[in-house]
Amino acid sequence: MKLFLVSIFLSTAAAFAPSSTSQALVQRSALAQSDDSSFALCAKYKKVFVAGGSKGVGRAIIDKLLAEGSEVVALLRSDEAVAELSAIDGVTAIQGDAFHYKTVEGAIDGCDAAVTTLGGSVEDTKRVDYAGNNNVIEAAGILGCTRVVLVTSVGCGDSKEAAPPSVFETLKEVLTAKTRAENVLIKYYTNMNWTIIRPGGLVTEPMTGKAILTADKLGIGSIHREDVADLTVKALFAANTEKKVLTAVDPSLSSAANADGKSFEAFELN
């Protein structure tokens, strides 16, 4: 049981607030009402930087953004990932390391939103969970990037009690590093339009479409990676997620981390 819980958790890996006009808000609302199935609000952010986009949630986020008509700039370390994403229309693939601030800054330059899913493993001696995410946040602030979404994990910050104690202890260094990145946004970028999303245990399966975001700090459960990506993109363009910390779980999936099947109130995006 402990190994199962650890495995699903291991997979999870200063801009100024945009001055939205009343007309823009009305336009976004109309778009949402005209197409409930696709949450078509992407006109607001046309060029989005994605860190951690070579695989998993980050890679699925790139696909979701492209489907909604956004251009994507992806920072990638491997030659294989750069070659793969460079072949996709709408993607600018930049080879570089998120540990290098200037590389991150150069990649974000010209983007009007940034999404980071950077995360490492327990065995890593360097913590991209903090250092890389912090570089994204700092560069966005300096460049005036208007929007940042940080994807971390259940067990970070004030959701510590949601994680099973054995899992938290095993992942303590990872979760602590992610929490430090969260705190950068929460404490020092008070004028930024940020959102933090904490997925539960990640599963690699096709999306169910039944996953939710919840503001419940004790929210816990499993969720497919593609569903996390879908919720992240929807939250990116939603009008009511500014300065919100939200948990992503799928009530339709059974989970050892939520053996009692506790339900959580969904946070409705608009």
3-state per-residue secondary structure call for 62-100: HHHHHHCCCEEEEEECCHHHHHHHHCCCCEEEEECCCCC
DSSP state of 265: -
pLDDT tens-place string over residues 50-98: 999 999 999 999 999 999 999 999 999 999 999 999 999 999 999 999 9
Asked if residue 219 has pLDDT above 80, the reply is: yes
Q: What element of type H or E holds 201?
A: strand 201-203
CATH of domain 2-13+40-258: 3.40.50.720
Residue ranges of alpha helices (H) inside 203-262 are: 225-237
Domain boundaries, the chain: 2-13+40-258
- In order of 69, 80, 146, 185, the CA distances from 199 in angstroms are 25, 27, 23, 18
User: Quick one: pLDDT at residue 97?
Assistant: 96
Q: What element of type H or E holds 247?
A: strand 244-249
Residues 6+ apart with CB under 8 A from 29: 239, 270
Instruction: Name the average pLDDT for the chain.
Output: 87
- In order of 20, 46, 119, 202, the CA distances from 6 in angstroms are 41, 37, 15, 11
- The whole-angstrom separation of Cα 248 and Cα 270 is 16
pLDDT tens-place string over residues 132-181: 999 999 999 999 998 999 999 999 999 999 999 999 999 999 999 999 99
Least confident of 25-29, 130-134, 143-147, 235-239: 25-29
DSSP state of 262: -
- In order of 155, 199, 249, the CA distances from 241 in angstroms are 20, 16, 17
